């Protein structure tokens, strides 16, 4: 187990104007006004972040920005169980039930979840470098206060800014780690782009570089290796099924079926499995692949 348990236009060519007697060319002639308007338009188009998500611009101006959550694109792209079907072919003594939540759940009834057997929780903290979950405090502290082992996750937007920028934003806005025995390492959510093209307009090699940049930076901030949440199909399509993270980063696999299925290259086993998006109390339910003491070990680092 990997760990137990952010051009302006240049100068414009001179306009060729006809010279008329007694009509000197001034900046207030129509041609000059047209030129000024064109320059202003080009400058506006060059402002970072105004390009569409498919062209590599940040989606902060998208009407749905911030609404993505762990697994928000999985059913649409991969299908799976649409009703709550707990896995049956598992050893309950070798797994731990958990949930993941975001702003969509609002204030969570943590006591209800605790009494139902849920012992860990992951809470959305950030997205890109411009969104923070407004319910983060209630969710992150509430799960902890009820007794759960908790952690935070970041919804990655690899076309919006560098991996280092997003890892820093995450680590300093709720995604940090403390050696208190109750805090899990952070998670980077890598799944289908909810605002544009599947792989965020990045090549497979560029995506791998982005993920490594995020991972290295998160470790520099926290001392922990970030958990990678993904699906095998997305990982294969967008990284070329890169196998270089399996020895360092724990895997959180998403598959709404009776088994986790085939894992991405490099991982021989999963650490977490998101097995449904329609569970009781809150939608997304997960299993930790190990006994409770191994979950504690992961929290302890």
- Any idea which residue has 């692949």 for tokens? 289
Choice among 189, 225, 233, 284 that is catalytic:
189
91 is catalytic: no
Q: Is 60 a catalytic residue?
A: no
N residues, the chain: 301
Closest CA to 180 of 202, 217, 150, 201: 150
Please, are residues 208 and 244 in contact by the beta-carbon 8 Å criterion? yes
Q: Among the options 127, 191, 225, 284, which is catalytic? A: 191
Catalytic residue among 78, 100, 233, 284: 100
**225 an active-site residue?**
no
d(CA 271, CA 254): 11
SS (H, E, C) the chain: CCCCCCCCCCCCCCCCCCCECCECCCCCCHHHHHHHHHHHHHHHHCCCCCCCHHHCCCCCCCCCCCCCCCCCCHHHHHCCCCCCCCCCCCCHHHEEEEEEECHHHCCCCHHHHHHCCCCEEEEEEEECCCEECCCHHHHHHHHHHHCCEEEEEEECCCCCCCHHHHHHHHHCCCCCCCCCCCECCCEEECCCCCCCCCCCCCCHHHHHHHHHHHHHHHHHHHCCCCEEEECHHHHHHHHCCCCCCCCCCCEEEECCCCCCCCCCCCCCCCCEEEEECCCCCCCCEEEEECCHHHHHHHHHC
Residue 190 CA: distances (Å) to CA of 71, 172, 175, 216, 264: 9, 20, 16, 16, 13
- Please give the positions annotated as active site: 100, 189, 191
């Amino acid at each position: 187990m990997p760990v137990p348990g952010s051009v302006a236009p240049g100068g414009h060519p001179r306009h060729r104007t006809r010279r008329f007697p007694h009509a000197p060319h001034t900046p207030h002639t129509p041609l000059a006004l047209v030129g000024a308007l064109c320059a202003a338009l080009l400058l506006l188009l060059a402002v970072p972040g105004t390009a569409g998500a498919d062209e590599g611009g940040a989606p902060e101006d998208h009407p749905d920005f911030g609404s993505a959550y762990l697994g928000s694109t999985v059913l649409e792209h991969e299908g799976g169980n649409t009703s709550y079907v707990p896995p049956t072919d598992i050893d309950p003594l070798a797994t731990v039930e958990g949930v993941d939540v975001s702003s969509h759940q609002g204030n969570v009834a943590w006591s209800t979840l605790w009494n139902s057997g849920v012992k860990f929780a992951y809470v959305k903290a950030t997205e890109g470098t411009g969104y923070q979950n407004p319910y983060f405090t209630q969710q992150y502290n509430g799960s902890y206060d009820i007794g759960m082992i908790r952690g935070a996750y970041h919804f990655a937007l690899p076309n919006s800014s560098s991996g280092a920028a997003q890892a820093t934003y995450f680590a300093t806005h709720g995604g940090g780690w403390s050696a208190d025995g109750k805090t899990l390492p952070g998670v980077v959510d890598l799944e289908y782009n909810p605002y544009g093209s599947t792989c965020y307009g990045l090549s497979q090699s560029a995506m791998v570089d982005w993920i490594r940049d995020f991972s290295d930076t998160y470790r520099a901030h926290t001392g922990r290796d970030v958990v990678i949440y993904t699906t095998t199909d997305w990982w294969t399509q967008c990284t070329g099924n890169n196998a270089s993270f399996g020895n360092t980063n724990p895997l959180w696999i998403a598959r709404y079926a009776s088994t986790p299925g085939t894992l991405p290259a490099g991982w021989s086993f999963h650490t977490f499995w998101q097995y449904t998006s329609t569970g009781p109390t809150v939608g997304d339910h997960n299993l930790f692949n190990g006994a409770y003491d191994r979950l504690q070990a992961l929290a302890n680092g």
